[in-house]
């Protein structure tokens, strides 16, 4: 995936005293910064670089995020200087961005499939915008009263419409031809002209959108933090993804044999917008049967095969712990080894997971016990195809079996 840019420089004046010391993107929802919630969602797309355009309270952003690696993305903070508004801020990265890129508002949440926006572009277009429903934003005047043609080009309507800007964009690099080094609004001064010239396309998403710059919305999120959380299906590896080797371990890629229905099952999990996360004990590393490098090679082989079948594994959490390991580092972190829930807790925190809408599919009592300790829904892997089991679960969530 290409790079992403997040606008985090605004003062948030609509929130009054709330943002006097804390920038909008750093307001906490259930003890988690809003920006961290946003990052937990977009790391799914494996952006190589994520740039934060900072101005108001910029030192806080630099301290928390500059040069940090989150999942597979490097975070870089860019000093906007004095506030240049959304258009002028982009000028600061004109010579940094090398290819097409995504742009996001750091104070709004839109639960969409980002991959659809690049697909809209054609030879004559410069960018595409995720369009949201405007039922709840009567006073919004940033790219409001717009409509979408049959060919997905945006145009302004003389009458009121249900469409509004959702604050997620995909731009060709040529957008910088229209960005100048002065305080200027992308939404109010640059994009309207491009829309009138039929250079911008749009896609309407029915999914949830919320702007935290409004006190009513912020109060709603503080009372309903699950609105922002993702759902996940956690999978054990051996016995669920690949065949078990009796009384032994998978030691190389030749011994890694996929079980029936795995590829189709993961495709279905992805389609239902669940994060797909593997939780696995691998004491073979602690026992010096294989190296951690070899384990990573096996996991790379596994994920590449799944990608070849159009599936995605979002993350893999593994425990190399072994009580009697010759190496000290593998005698540490016993809480990560199932039946302890350490790996699950780490995954839930990193990906901002709603455990009430998630579940763990495993094949052993240790998997069951780990899930039970954090009250996570659990089902045992059936003897049949994983696809058939997942299909039954996802098409009828009542089939989640709380076995405890």
Determine contact, residues 100/118, Cβ cutoff 8 Å: yes
Are both 193 and 246 inside the same structural domain? no
pLDDT band, residue 160 (cuts 50/70/90): confident
Are both 367 and 387 inside the same structural domain? yes
Are both 303 and 344 inside the same structural domain? yes
Determine contact, residues 323/198, Cβ cutoff 8 Å: no
Tell me which of 179, 208, 225 is where a domain ends. Answer: 225
* pLDDT surpasses 80 at 142: no
Determine contact, residues 132/206, Cβ cutoff 8 Å: no
Residue from 36, 85, 107, 236 carrying the catalytic annotation = 236
Of 138 and 313, which is predicted with more confidence? 313
| 192 in any annotated domain | yes
Q: What is the mean pLDDT of the chain?
A: 94
Residue 308 DSSP label: H
pLDDT digits (tens, 9 = 90+) for 309-366: 999 999 999 999 999 999 999 999 999 999 999 999 999 999 999 999 999 999 999 9
* pLDDT surpasses 90 at 396: no
Tell me which of 160, 191, 225 is where a domain ends. Answer: 225
Residue from 211, 238, 363, 367 carrying the catalytic annotation = 238
Question: Residue 219 is encoded by which pair of tokens?
Answer: 């109060």
Are both 216 and 238 inside the same structural domain? no
Are both 168 and 270 inside the same structural domain? no
Specify the pLDDT at position 161.
87
* pLDDT surpasses 60 at 307: yes
| 137 in any annotated domain | yes
Are both 261 and 167 inside the same structural domain? no
List all residues 6 or more positions away from 110 whose beta carbon is below 8 Å from its beta carbon: 130, 132, 166, 167, 168, 205, 207, 208, 209
Rounded CA separation 40/34 (Å)? 10
Specify the pLDDT at position 402.
43
367 is catalytic: no
| 404 in any annotated domain | no
Determine contact, residues 294/251, Cβ cutoff 8 Å: yes
Domain hosting residue 185, numbered range:
3-225
Tell me which of 172, 193, 225 is where a domain ends. Answer: 225
Question: Which of the residue ranges 183-187, 258-262, 280-284 would you say has the lowest mean pLDDT?
Answer: 183-187
Are both 216 and 338 inside the same structural domain? no
Determine contact, residues 195/143, Cβ cutoff 8 Å: yes
Q: Determine how many CB atoms are found less than 10 A away from the CB of residue 300.
A: 12
Rounded CA separation 89/66 (Å)? 17
Are both 140 and 104 inside the same structural domain? yes
Identify the CATH number of the domain in which residue 196 sits. Answer: 3.90.550.10
* pLDDT surpasses 90 at 144: no
Are both 149 and 254 inside the same structural domain? no
* pLDDT surpasses 50 at 404: no
Are both 35 and 154 inside the same structural domain? yes
The count of domains in the chain is 2
pLDDT band, residue 200 (cuts 50/70/90): very high
Gyration radius from the chain CA atoms: 23
315 is catalytic: no
Rounded CA separation 361/391 (Å)? 13
């Amino acid at each position: 995936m290409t790079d992403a840019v997040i606008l985090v420089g605004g003062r948030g004046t609509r929130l009054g005293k709330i943002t006097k010391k804390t920038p909008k993107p750093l307001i906490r929802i259930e003890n988690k910064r809003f920006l961290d919630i946003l990052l937990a969602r977009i790391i799914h797309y494996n952006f190589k670089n994520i740039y934060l355009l900072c101005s108001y309270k910029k030192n806080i952003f630099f301290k928390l995020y500059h040069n940090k690696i989150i999942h597979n993305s490097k975070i870089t903070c860019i000093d906007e200087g004095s506030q240049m508004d959304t258009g002028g801020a982009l000028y600061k990265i004109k010579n940094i961005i090398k290819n097409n890129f995504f742009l996001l508002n750091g104070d709004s949440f839109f639960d969409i499939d980002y991959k659809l926006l690049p697909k809209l572009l054609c030879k004559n277009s410069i960018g595409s915008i995720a369009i949201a429903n405007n039922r709840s934003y009567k006073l919004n005047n940033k790219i409001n009263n717009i409509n979408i043609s049959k060919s997905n080009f945006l145009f302004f309507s003389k009458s009121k419409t249900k469409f509004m800007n959702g604050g997620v964009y995909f731009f060709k690099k040529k957008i910088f031809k229209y960005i100048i080094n002065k305080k200027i609004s992308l939404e109010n001064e640059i994009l309207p002209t491009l829309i009138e010239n039929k250079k911008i396309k749009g896609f309407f998403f029915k999914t949830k959108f919320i702007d935290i710059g409004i006190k009513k919305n912020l109060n709603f999120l503080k009372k309903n933090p699950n609105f922002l959380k993702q759902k996940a299906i956690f999978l054990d590896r051996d016995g669920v993804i690949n065949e078990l080797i009796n009384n032994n371990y998978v030691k190389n890629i030749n011994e890694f044999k996929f079980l029936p229905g795995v590829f189709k099952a993961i495709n279905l999990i992805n389609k239902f917008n669940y994060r797909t996360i593997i939780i696995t004990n691998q004491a073979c590393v602690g026992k010096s049967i294989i190296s951690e490098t070899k384990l990573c090679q096996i996991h790379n082989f596994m994920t590449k095969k799944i990608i070849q079948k159009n599936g995605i594994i979002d993350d893999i959490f593994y425990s190399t712990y072994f009580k009697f390991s010759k190496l000290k580092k593998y005698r540490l972190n016993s809480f990560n080894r199932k039946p302890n829930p350490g790996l699950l807790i780490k995954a839930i925190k990193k990906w901002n997971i709603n455990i009430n809408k998630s579940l763990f599919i495993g094949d052993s009592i240790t998997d069951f016990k780990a899930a039970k300790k954090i009250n996570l829904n659990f089902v045992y892997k059936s003897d049949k195809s994983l696809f058939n089991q997942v299909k039954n679960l996802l098409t009828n969530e009542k089939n989640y079996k709380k076995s405890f």
